[in-house]
Structure 1
Amino acid sequence: MIYKDSLEGISSEMLTGFFVDWPHPPNQETHLKLLKNSSKVILAIDNDTKQVVGFITAISDGILSAYIPFLEVLPAYKMKGIGKELVKRILNELDDIYMIDLCCDDDLIPYYHSLGMTKTNGMVIRNYNRQSGS
């Protein structure tokens, strides 16, 4: 597995199969755009296929706060430590930031707790008719 913190050489064609179970997933071009517009991004790339198999993003003011909106690993690559490595690397990139926030479903709380995060309360608004990004 190759881990990269830049989008150099990454095309939308390398971003297939993500946003599993989303009713209105972003297309590959929108996916690439959201990666480009993130403050930080780390990609996991399969050595053999050269396809992106996992990614994590952060949005930050670069001073006090950062938010991790996306961590995704393709289903065929789960349970191989890729997600854990992506989280470890993004937290390392953000180690000078005071607060790093992430929202997740209840079933993922133990996973993020095992990576050093603390459970807290949060509030969200979801505009599902904009879920695809277009």
Structure 2
Amino acid sequence: MIYKNELDGISADMLKGFFVDWPNPPNPETHLKLLKNSSKVIIAMDRMSNQVVGFITAISDGVLSAYIPLLEVLPAYKNKGIGKELVHRMLKELDDIYMIDLCCDDDLVPYYDKIGMMQTNGMILRNYNRQSGS
């Protein structure tokens, strides 16, 4: 597995199969755009297939706060430590930031708890008719 924190050489064709179970997922071109527009991004690539198999993004003011909106690993690559490695690498990238927030489903709370994050309350608003990003 190769981990990169830049997108040089990454094309939309290398981003197929993500956003599993989303009713209206972004297409690979929109996915590439959201990666490019993130403050920080780390991708996991399978060195044999040269495909992106996982990614994590962060949005930050670069001073006090950062938010991790997306972490995903392709289904065939889950339970191999890729997601955990992506989170650890992103937290290292954000080491100089005071607050790092993310939202997750209840079943993922133990996952993030194991890496030292604390559960808190949060509020969200979703505009599902814009879920595809277009």
TM-score, reference length from structure 1: 1.00
Deviation at 1:86, TM superposition (A): 0.1
Unaligned runs of 5+ in 2: none
Task: State the Cα RMSD in Å.
Answer: 0.3
- The equivalent residue for 1:97 is 97
- The equivalent residue for 2:86 is 86
Deviation at 1:47, TM superposition (A): 0.8
- The equivalent residue for 2:29 is 29
- The equivalent residue for 2:119 is 119
The residue correspondences of 1:1-134 to structure 2 (distance < 5 A) are: 1-134=1-134
SS of 1:20's equivalent?
coil
Deviation at 1:98, TM superposition (A): 0.2
Cα-to-partner distance string for 1:35-85 (whole Å, 9 max, x where unaligned): 000000000000100000000000000000000000000000000000000
**1: CA distance, partners of 2:72 / 2:79:** 12
Deviation at 1:2, TM superposition (A): 0.1
Deviation at 1:116, TM superposition (A): 1.0
Aligned-pair identity (%) = 79
- 2:26 partner letter: P
Cα-to-partner distance string for 1:1-57 (whole Å, 9 max, x where unaligned): 000000000000000000000000000000000000000000000010000000000
Deviation at 1:115, TM superposition (A): 1.2
**1: CA distance, partners of 2:7 / 2:39:** 12
Deviation at 1:105, TM superposition (A): 0.3
**1: CA distance, partners of 2:59 / 2:115:** 19
Unaligned runs of 5+ in 1: none
**1: CA distance, partners of 2:113 / 2:81:** 15
- 2:12 partner letter: S
SS of 1:56's equivalent?
strand
- 2:132 partner letter: S
